[in-house]
Amino acid sequence: MEIDKNQLLRFTTAGSVDDGKSTLIGRLLYDSKAIFEDQLEAIENTSRKKGHEGVDLALFTDGLRDEREQGITIDVAYRYFTTPKRKFIIADTPGHIQYTRNMVTGASTANAALILIDARHGVIEQTKRHAFIASLLQIPHIIVCINKMDLVDYSEEVYENIINQFEEFSSKLYVKDIQFLPISALDGDNVVNRSTNMDWYKGAPLLYTLETMHISSDINKIDARFPVQTVLRPQREGFIDYRGYAGRVASGIFRPGDEVVILPSGFTSTIKSIDTMDGSLEEVFAPMSVTITLKDDIDISRGDMIVKENNQPKPLQEFDAMLCWFNNSPARPRAKYTIVHTSNEQKAMIKEVVYKIDINTYAREEQDKELKMNDIARISIRTTRPLMVDEYRDNRLTGSFVLIDDATHETVAAGMIV
Amino acid sequence: MSKYYLNYLDELESEAIYILREVWAQFQNPVILFSGGKDSILVTHLAKKAFYPSKIPFPLLHVDTGHNFPETIQFRDDLIKELGVQLIVGSVQESIDTGRVAEEKGKNATRNALQITTLLDAIENNKIDCAIGGGRRDEEKARAKERFFSHRDDFGQWDPKNQRPELWNLLNGKHFEGEHFRAFPISNWTEMDVWNYIKREDIKIPSLYLAHQREVVWRNDSWIPVSEFLKLEENEKIETKKIRFRTLGDITITGGIESEANTLEKIVAEVAAMKQTERGNRSDDKRSETAMEDRKRQGYF
Ligand SMILES: Nc1nc2c(ncn2[C@@H]2O[C@H](COP(=O)(O)OP(=O)(O)O)[C@@H](O)[C@H]2O)c(=O)[nH]1
Ligand SMILES: [Mg+2]
């Protein structure tokens, strides 16, 4: 079947409250026929109870009880739809500043970000924040949707003005690919179908853009990194001496016969085979889950990383990172946390807050050093042992980490190594 | 296009295998929650792949409502034998007999809510620190917010407003004594993905999923199978229909749909054309709009 070639595309939505995120997602699902009759019926009932006329498509994504009662999105909600060309995973995240951490979470795995702007209001503080987060998390593609065009008479001038406002500040950000689209989520203009109200817009509608976006080239195929998750020793007939290193390729390409180095020990060996239950493979790449066997018997365990001799991550015990603080209780100066980086875990201490960033204005704040919930800062961190790191810009998986508070076991921060 | 990309089913498979291996690495005593339904069969299949050539390194836990399709139990026992893994059974009947729970009364009585106690007891008695489930985010709106690693407090409860963030592929399974986790490796799969994958991999499933002749009763907008547990209401009459089930659960509340789909190919085609969600046929979710969230908060699957 044709479908077997289809890729998965993960995207996140950002916008401030009432810009129409939930409506847009509801519209995408509705027009691509991903909403079932019983779901629609439930939404119709709720809409009627609340006194809305027609169906409020936003209700489809606003899942939890409190959210439906307050009419806002407070967590990340995941939604799915499939077209003949692709499968999509949407991370619908709330827009308020107090949910910055939710946006960061949704952005961490996204191939693309949709940033919504209300055409009546143009670029506002929040737009800058959302663009900042998208660039901080290195989402490769940004689509700026200028929504509610129906409320500005589908005016090309309004649209062009907003693009200019956006480009004024986005030039300071590092983003690979930005596109703009005039839409009406409520009526469906340029969402799945081309708008008949905006002949001046020559580009494709949103869904087509998402379906055809080039994402295979976003994968890092250069730096071979294989964090070992667990060691498989079946010790059963046929596999008595089998010792396989199970994990998921983080980046790069591995083949049997490759000369590899095991970090942190530095031992070298050659890949004997790359196994799966369906047979051995001649070539593997991210994000494949496989099991690697080596020609030599070396002591390897969870947390180690298999890499290639001529291209290695840096073993660092002290480095700088952009950190987003997630927890209600602020960071404690010089307190110890557990740092989780790939499959490796160490203790770590935040040595210094270099500066905090005002994510609305991009201004650096060097006086106030307290890291509170939703703050984003550049920090220096020190770990008990070296971690095998890459810069986040080069490698989203070997350049990222989270901090866990040992007293509560909560994930309190997420970091991107610079 | 570059050859270095995975199709979506391979990517979902790889993600699930990654999560299963993280469970094994981060927990002392995990189990797979096995209901006999296609989602838990899929999770079990993925676990086979995750640990090959080793056996699945943890037991399967079946919470038995006592209201089973006989086919489900047969299927479960055959699978256990084939895998060579341990089976733990938590019995709702036993929870009733020992007074841990009381049977619901009335027309729409089910053992659905009772399973929560049996499950939590089984988790506590067997010192299970992670129960791997086949829950999918597309099933239901409260499930849409689930994490891959979902924390439960020492009362087994879920606090959806205070969940640990999951970034990149970093999963945090740290917990205190008495607390446990639920892990959901197929969170990102839809019903369609599950069927496409079952077909692709030719995974064995109970015959109940395929269209077959069965005695049924029309109740709550679906065909409820006749069984020793079914009490006929006035005006209800037994009919023989060609039906199949989209989900399998407690036989007293799992409704079938009329269907001619008796092969995996036909099921995939039928699911693609479906207009109702699969849980639309389950009366447990029809009780209120937040029925699932309320049950999940208490410790449900
Ligand atoms: N006129 C108009 N209203 C819209 C459009 N998109 C969304 N809305 C309305 O804007 C309000 C907020 O939408 P919602 O999707 O909940 O925004 P969110 O907070 O970003 O999720 C709702 O009343 C929507 O009906 C649009 O394109 N045109
Ligand atoms: Mg919303």
Whether B159 and B280 share a structural domain:
no
Cβ–Cβ of A75/B169 closer than 8 Å? no
Summarize the confidence of residues B285-289 as an average pLDDT: 52
Cβ–ligand 1 distance for A19 under 6 Å, the answer yes
CB A54 within 8 A of CB A43: no
Write down the mean pLDDT value for chain A: 89
Query: Which of B168, B179, B188 best tests the A interface by mutation, with the highest count of A CBs <10 A?
Result: B168
**Interval B24-66: pLDDT, tens:** 999 999 999 999 899 999 999 999 999 999 999 999 999 998 8
What is the H or E stretch that residue A365 is in?
Answer: strand A363-365
Within-domain flag for B199: no
Residues of B in contact with A76 (CB under 8 A): 145
Average pLDDT, chain B: 87
- Inspect the interface and report whether the beta carbons of A289 and B13 lie closer than 8 Å: yes
B171 with B45, same domain? yes
Per-range mean pLDDT, top range of A75-84, A288-297, B243-252: A288-297
User: Cβ distance B86 to B60 under 8 Å?
Assistant: yes
* Claim to verify: residue B30 and residue B125 sit in the same structural domain: yes
Pocket of ligand 1 contains residue A3 by CB under 6 Å: no
User: Domain check: are B141 and B16 in the same one?
Assistant: yes
User: A7 and B5: CB-CB below 8 Å?
Assistant: yes
CA A155 to ligand 1 centroid distance, Å: 18
Asked whether residue B74 falls in the same domain as residue B110, the answer is yes
Shortest CA gap A212–chain B (Å): 11
Compute the distance from residue A58 Cα to the ligand 1 centre, in Å. Answer: 8
- Higher per-residue confidence, A411 vs B110: A411
Is residue B200 domain-resident?
Answer: no
Chain A CB contacts of B49 under 8 Å are 276-278
* CB of A13 shorter than 6 A to ligand 1: no
Number of domains in chain B: 2
Query: Which residue from B49, B160, B172 is facing A402, i.e. has the nearest CB?
Result: B172
Has domain A314-417 been given CATH number 2.40.30.10? yes
Peptide bond between residue B225 and the one before it cis (omega within 30 degrees of 0): no
Which range has the worst mean pLDDT, A256-270, A275-289, A402-416, B261-275? B261-275
Regarding the beta carbon of A22 and ligand 1, being less than 6 Å apart is answered yes
Testing ligand 1's pocket by substitution, the residue of A13, A17, A18 carrying the most ligand atoms inside 8 A of its CB is: A18
pLDDT-derived band at A50 (thresholds 50, 70, 90) equals: low
CA–CA min distance B94, chain A (Å): 33
CB contact B192 to A (< 8 Å): yes
Query: Ligand 1: distance of its center to the CA of A20 in Å?
Result: 4
Asked if residue B222 and residue B181 are part of one domain, the reply reads: no
Are B69 and B146 contained in the same domain? yes
Whether the pLDDT of residue A2 is over 60: the answer is no
Burial of B202 (0-12, 13-18, 19+ CB in 10 A): exposed
pLDDT at site B291: 66
**Which of B6, B52, B289 is nearest residue A46 as measured by Cβ atoms?**
B289
**B175 occurs within a structural domain:** yes
Phi and psi at residue A85, in whole multiples of 5°?
A: -100, -30
- Residue B228's domain spans which residues? 205-285
- Residue B158 belongs to some domain of the structure: yes
Ligand 1: atom nearest CA of A72 is 19
Question: What CATH number should be reported for the domain holding residue B25?
Answer: 3.40.50.620
Per-residue pLDDT at B279 exceeds 80: no
pLDDT of residue A67: 53
The alpha-carbon gap from B34 to the nearest alpha carbon of chain A, in Å, equals 22
For residue A230, pLDDT beyond 50: yes
Instruction: State the DSSP H helix or E strand holding residue A381, giving kind and residue range, or none if neither.
Output: strand A376-389
User: What's the pLDDT score for residue B68?
Assistant: 84
| Together in a domain, B121 and B46 | yes
CATH class of A3-218: alpha beta
Dist CA A9 CA A286 (whole Å): 15
Which among A247, A338, A411 has the least Cβ separation from residue B165? A411
Least confident of A184-188, A328-332, B35-39, B96-100: B96-100
Q: For chain A, what are the domain ranges?
A: 3-218, 225-308, 314-417
pLDDT in the model for residue B292? 67
pLDDT, mean of residues A132-147: 95
Cβ contact, residue pair A39, B277, below 8 Å: yes
What is residue B215's predicted lDDT score, i.e. its pLDDT? Answer: 86
Question: Residue A122 — left, alpha, or beta (φ > 0 → left; ψ -120 to 50 → alpha)?
Answer: left
Task: Confirm whether B84 is domain-assigned.
Answer: yes
Nearest CA owner, ligand 1 atom 12: A18
Q: How far is B276 from chain A (nearest CA, A)?
A: 5
Coil, strand or helix: which one is A66? helix
Alpha-carbon distance B238 to nearest alpha carbon in chain A (angstroms):
26
Q: Do A77 and B145 touch (CB under 8 A)?
A: yes
Please report the pLDDT score of residue A1 as a whole number. 38
pLDDT at residue B198 in the model = 96
Give the DSSP per-residue string, chain B.
Answer: --S----HHHHHHHHHHHHHHHHHHH-SSEEEE--SSHHHHHHHHHHHHHHTTSPPSS-EEEEE-S---HHHHHHHHHHHHHHT--EEEEEHHHHHHTTSS----STT--STTHHHHHHHHHHHHTT-SEEE----TTS-TTGGG--SEEEE-TT----TTSPPP-BTTB------TT-EEEE-TTTT--HHHHHHHHHHHT----GGGS-EEEEEEEETTEEEEP-TTPPPPTT---EEEEEEESS---TTTB-EEE----SHHHHHHHHHH--S-GGGGBGGGTS-TTHHHHHHHHT--
Give tens-digit pLDDT for B228-271: 888 888 888 889 999 998 888 778 888 888 899 999 999 888 88
Cβ pair A288:B175 closer than 8 A: no
Residue B221 — φ and ψ, nearest 5°?
A: 65, 25
Average pLDDT for A142-161 = 97
Are residues B160 and A326, on separate chains, in Cβ contact within 8 Å? no
With a cut of 60, say whether residue B280 has pLDDT above it. Answer: no
Within an 8 Å CB–CB cutoff, is residue B153 touching chain A?
no
A225-308: CATH topology: Elongation Factor Tu (Ef-tu); domain 3 (2.40.30)
Nearest CA to ligand 1 atom 1: A148
**B111 inside domain:** yes
Interval B216-237 mean pLDDT: 84
- A314-417 has the same fold as A225-308: yes
- How confident is residue B93, by pLDDT bands cut at 50, 70 and 90? confident
- Check whether residue B158 and residue B88 sit in a common domain: yes
CB B114 within 8 Å of CB B96 = yes
Between strands A112-118 and A225-232, the pairing is unpaired
Q: Kindly state whether residues B138 and B226 are assigned to the same domain.
A: no
Q: Is A148 in the pocket of ligand 1 (CB under 6 A)?
A: yes
pLDDT in tens, A22-47: 889 888 888 777 666 666 777 677 76
